[in-house]
Structure 1
Amino acid sequence: MYTSTSTQRNILSVAKLNKMVGSLLKTHVGQVWISAEISNFVAAASGHWYFTLKDRDAQVKAAMFKGANGRIAQRPKEGDSVLVRANVGLYEPRGDYQIIVEHLEFDGAGLLKQQYEQLKNALQAEGLFATQTKQAIPQDIKTVGIITSATGAALHDITTVLKRRNPMINVIVYPTQVQGAAAAAQIVNAIFIANRRREVDVLIVGRGGGSLEDLWCFNEETVARAIFGSHLPIVSAVGHEVDVTIADFVADLRAATPSQAAELVSSDLGDVIYTIEQWRQRLTQAISTKLNECDYQQQLLGSRLQQNHPQQRLQQQAQAIDHFTMQLQHNMQRRLQVAQQRQQHLENRLQHLSPIHLVSQSQQHTHTLTERLRQAMANRLTHQQQRFAKVTGILHSVSPLATLSRGYSISFVDNHVVNTTSTIKEGDTLTTRLTDGEVTSKVERISAVK
């Protein structure tokens, strides 16, 4: 008989068992997000909250300690829909499985925030927020494109600022919805159209402030990827300064408000005029300085010219020109004599080696070859004509038309040649080809030749 000892059974105490289970839950499950409904809420005198999280199929006990719930502005109540971030654990004294809530949000807004954080982290890891991928905003902007609602306050704010700062800037509006289910697709399409037309220097994409739900189209992945893929630089101007969307992270430049976006893409006309005036003054001063320098140089050169009169140098130059002229004439005459002598020598050699005899021989040989070629071509043509006539006779002898001319005929059924009685049946229509035409007949009886 087998008898096991206590060491072989690895006997545990209840406390140790609960501690092991709690450690396993904390290690292998860890932190989770849970969307559920509040039930059995109790606020203890210690400041801790105890409640049950439930949905249609199950429930779990939860605790939120004073340090965590102190950050919640509104105390939850029975029936509230919440989103919580919690750690899974075990209350060891009673062995009760429970979750320890660290963060709690109401009415589904938390779910949107969770989706926001998940997409933000994914796009950031993919490199869509990287600084090195962002395009520089042009300095000399002549045309600004605006992607926003045609009736929203954002458009009015942007155009007002642009008109005040620099009325010379052109504005092209790509009207879209900026709230609702269709907004994201319209924003993506507007970015595509602006890039295809290439009629603006920079794009402002945005709207006025609102709730997370109102601004959600600017947190859509399609909008983020359209902004990232734009060849035109994009300034994101969504909401107020406290509102930050995923579009802000992807855009080449983020403006806290639509009005600030207009300021970022426009230079103040007053500043431009002031700069031009500064440059005009500097240019005037530089020209005046340069003219003074030239006047001084002119006076200096005039003084040196008077001290070194050019008359003597002109005489020396004239004498040098006469010397070079005579030397040039002498050289030209000598080269001309050498050229004449060489020409005479070449003429003598040319007469000695005249090609007239060679040309005559070549012409006679060419004539002989031409006659031989003509005769060979005539013989070849006669031979081919005879051969063609022979082949034509042979071909005619085996032609079906020759066979027909000897009294034979060919019958067809549906364009197929009839060569046996098995290929036709009573009622079939036969087309019979004779030497001078065709005859159509109908089969009434078939008899085989014995």
Structure 2
Amino acid sequence: MNTSTTPNILTVSQLTRSIKTILESEFRFVRISGEISNFKMVYSGHSYFTLKDGAAQIRAVLFKQQKRFVELALQDGQDVVCFGRITVYEPRGEYQLVVDSVELFGTGRLQKEFEQLKLRLAQKGYFAAEAKKTLPPYPGKIVVISSPTGAAIHDFLKIVTLRKSPILIQILPVKVQGNQAAGEIAEAIRTANSLDDVDVIVLCRGGGSLEDLWAFNEEVVAEAIYHSVVPIVTGIGHEVDFTIADFCADFRCPTPTGVAEKLIPDTHALRQHLAALQNSLVNRMQRKMSFHEQRLRHSLRMLGNMKNIFKDSELRLQLSKSYLYQAATNNLRRREGKLEACIRRLQGQAPSRCIELQQKHLHFLTAQLHNHIRRILERKEMALAEQATLLNSVSPLATLGRGYSIVRKFNLQDGSYQVITRSADTSVGEELNILLREGQLDCVVQKKVIIYRQ
């Protein structure tokens, strides 16, 4: 049957070509949102997938030459917005979307809002360097605002436990994702500012997409951070994640673990520093004592030389007297009285008398030097004892020594011990480890008694 010569009868190719022309002219360029499914990439490098919503679906193709313009790694289950053209694949008579670019649904809008808010807050001075507060080198109390069940708070507390720091950590639990998260975070910041003796506020959260971190991009959180009297440190997401809260904070760390490493001092390093200071003090005192000992030996040598000089002078004097006696024999009797007077005056000014006075003065100065050195040593010993007492008072071992113990549970997931503070954290039959002042005990829970405190 020759259908090409029959009036008003179209071939399949003619009909398909007409439909293709109509679709391509009517839907020249379109933006379609939907969920990716049945994604596959063939040997040629082209990617084929289905874009669907709750009621319909359409086939889509991303050709190899267009992939260089798509930064997103496509996979099933992603909600995306595809920009492209509607066409008809004639061999199968199916219409499909030829994709030119792809972005996650909502990402473009959120990124635009992020940049607009960032510009507006920068113009208000929220990110200015002069508005940043200085972090205390050794904080005594830290308030952590985070989800109590997230990995971020556990990473933070793990560093605190490893460094064995006596810092007081208070956790204000909040939602870190969702519509109510931003309001809870801002209110927690204001609450932390009303608490007593708070040195630093920490905002921390694990990594996620832009939508997951959006609570930290809200203006209400930025205002709470900017008006906070207490310094705020952020550790939100991963190293590449930046939020409005990071720009407003007084200091930004790339991760929650980085925040703990920044704020929590290393107790072992502090002990080493204290020991180095003690050694430096001892060395300086030893050098000063050695210096004064050398001066004392030098003075003694000088005094020894003076004795020899005086002795030589005495010999010369006796020789002169002998010469004088021989030369003035005739005048000796007549001048005997006058000579005796001269001898008495000479004895009053004898060098031995001067030596005696200098020796007494030297003994006095030596006693003063010894007393001064002893007083310096006593003051330094008292200061060292005070520092040692202070260090011992905050030591966990001192707490164990007073009869307390630490109950711990071994965590198989990360190989660490979890400190048990409530009976609700254990179960009957579970093995526990009790850390005492001397030794440890491995116990099994036989009964639980829960006491509710109001």
TM norm structure 2? 0.46
In our comparison, the structure showing a higher alpha carbon Rg is 1
